[in-house]
Amino acid sequence: MRLKIVLFLAAVCCIVSARSQKPTVLSPNQKIMITLFNEQNMESGEWYLTASYSTNGIFSQAIPRIALGLSRSDQDFSTQLKCLKVSRPVLINELYSAIHGKKSSRSNSANEVIVSFENPSKAKLNIIIRAYNDGVTFRYEFPEKEGSFRIKDELTSYSIPKETTRWMEKWNPANEGLYTAMSGDKIQMQEWCYPALFKLKDSSCYFLLHESDLNSSYCGTKLSNLTDSTGYKLSFPNPKDGRGTGESMPMITLPWKSPWRVIIMGSLSDIVASTLVDDVATPSVIKNTSWIKPGVVSWNYWSDNHGTKDYRTVTAFADLAAEMNWTYTLLDWEWDSMTNGGNVEDAAKYILSKGVKPLIWYNSGGNHTWVSATPKDRMLTHENRVEEFTKLKKMGFAGVKIDFFESEKQDMIKYYLDILQDAAQFEMMVYFHGCMVPRGWARTYPNLMTYEAVRGAEWYNNGPEFTVTAPEHNATLPFTRNVVGAMDYTPVTFTNSQFPHTTSYGHELALSVLFESGLQHFADRPEGYHELPDAIKTFLKNVPNAWDDTKLLDGIVGEEVTIARRKETAWYVAGITATQRKEKTRSLKFDFLQEGIKYKLTLISDGKHDKDFLVQYSVVDKNTSLNIKLLRRGGFAASLIPLQ
């Protein structure tokens, strides 16, 4: 990947008065502003940030207070901080490319100021503040050159007025919950997962809280409003996570920088299109990335969770991938117990003979997980991984799925990154399940293709609840979880597994475009795809899963969403509705298309009933608009191919 970095003085507003320090950083487009205040209006004391957004040239506070500070094992960096200096502002302008994700050409462009502090014992702390066109970020830095300490607490806390609407997921180590919409007296007090979405009252401004560039020098954090319903403080992992293994409070060695605290901000379209979580992450450490290939995967677990034990089932899904022009098929858990005609070596040979590449599952192993599913412990140490990757490479496997991490403590963060580093040495792609949500690692290690960390289609096997909640959940994820990185929901299931769908076939097809994942697992059984009309099979044979551009066309969180994604010169559009009561008519405009070019439109929408499709063909251009009828819990998908 090519990288270009330019640093020079920027025209940011940075005001410093004699009696109080109030550095203010504006985004390059001057729509977002972040300001540092002193609580006592003095040169020392407690400090906090405010984040504001401009609508029609008028700024309003999105987050009126972001408390700052760290508590270190040797001393405190929060209540008596003296501001020593504010750096001259610089413009960060970094161009890079992404192999997979919502956009291929990207820029890390922001105005940055560094504010330097010291505490009463003269120990130093810097706060690095950036304003982007799509949000703000900040991080802590201990610049001194030596010393090892434990971080007892991070005091970062977001104060958000109760009238601000919020969509949040109750904390769980696998990040597989549902989002709850709250405001006012309905705000719940508990621990929450990242990312969390907020909407200002009487404003089109949204913001999403997350973190990025987490590495083995820290732990993952979460949000907690247990002590104040409107204050979301960063908190460390629960000691009981990972069956009690590992330390909750991270150990750091100076010099040290914290992860970026990320606030994506703007319109709902800005939120969906943002790549800020990746932008601020460490650039790729992999020089040769030619072996990293995103693609669609056939997957036997959803329809038969013991399917990989059966060689005949494995070969049937390999045949499905070959027939549908999908790049990969996955051998899920229990492949080490495969019978009925062959073992894992036989399966790999068969899959490769069909022009398909095999992927393979592992239990993360160790005492941090209670799950005994095999194979277990083969990824646990560097020596284990070298031995296993050597075998896999020889058999022709292209990547590994590793499951059941169950903790975001510092030792587990190191484990994740050790896996990615070792896998890269063997040119193996990786995807994590039972895991944390993305923290920007796909930029640093582009062989990290996707994460689960979502309540996906697998939950149709876990109980009847998802039958009812899936439509609203599906219409929430494009604005929340999938904003911050690849999401292995395992979509596009037309038949039923253990519990039935209520979504229409058009809704299910739309998920192939709405949900982004570097490895996109289409989860239905072979007959579920074999029985589709030819137009739908053709669509699924050709739909990309790595994109050059992404645009939100329309949406209301939890109710409906329409997204357009571009691959080279072709566009794909998909939309769903979560409404349970009545049909809807969606107006679709094509003003995102290139001027002066006509496109062949293949539109696949809901037919007369949930299991029926309506297929229409036409020629459209930038000025075209049309109405699409959607059933309850319905959807549509479309391709737009330029005509020569």
Cα gap 51→35, rounded to integer Å: 7
Rounded Cα gap, residues 169 and 579, in angstroms: 21
Fold identical between 298-453 and 494-644?
yes
> Tokens 């896999």 sit at which residue?
392
Task: For 382-404, write each residue's pLDDT tens digit.
Answer: 999 999 999 999 999 999 999 99
pLDDT of residue 1: 40
Strand, coil or helix: what is 26? strand
CA 166 distance to own-chain centroid = 18
Q: Treating both helix axes as pointing N-terminal to C-terminal, what angle do 465-474 and 505-514 enclose, rounded to 10 degrees?
A: 50
For residue 124, the model assigns a pLDDT of: 98
Q: What integer pLDDT is reported at residue 163 of this predicted model?
A: 96
Average pLDDT per block of 10 residues along the chain, 644 residues long: 36 38 90 96 95 92 97 97 96 98 98 98 98 98 97 98 97 98 97 98 93 98 97 98 97 98 98 98 98 98 96 98 98 98 98 98 96 95 98 98 98 98 98 98 98 98 97 98 98 96 97 98 98 98 98 98 98 96 93 97 97 98 97 98 94
pLDDT for position 384: 97
| 91: its two tokens | 């413009």
> Would you state the pLDDT for residue 9?
34
* Domain segments of the chain as ranges: 4-279, 298-453, 494-644
By DSSP bridging, strand 135-142 and strand 124-132 are antiparallel
Sheet arrangement for strand 47-55? 24-26, 32-38, 47-55, 58-67, 157-159, 231-235, 222-224, 191-192
Beta strand pairing status for 179-182 and 165-169? antiparallel
**DSSP 8-class letter at 426:** T
Residues 166, 209: Cα–Cα separation, whole Å: 11
What was the pLDDT predicted at 56? 86
CATH for 494-644? 3.20.20.70
> What is residue 19's predicted lDDT score, i.e. its pLDDT?
36
Class of the CATH-defined domain 298-453: alpha beta
Domain topology for 4-279: Beta-galactosidase; Chain A, domain 5 (2.70.98)
386 in helix, strand or coil?
helix
Residue 125 contacts residue 118 (beta carbons within 8 Å): yes
The pLDDT > 70 percentage for the chain reads: 97
Q: Is residue 344 within a helix (H) or strand (E), and if so which, with residue range?
A: helix 344-353
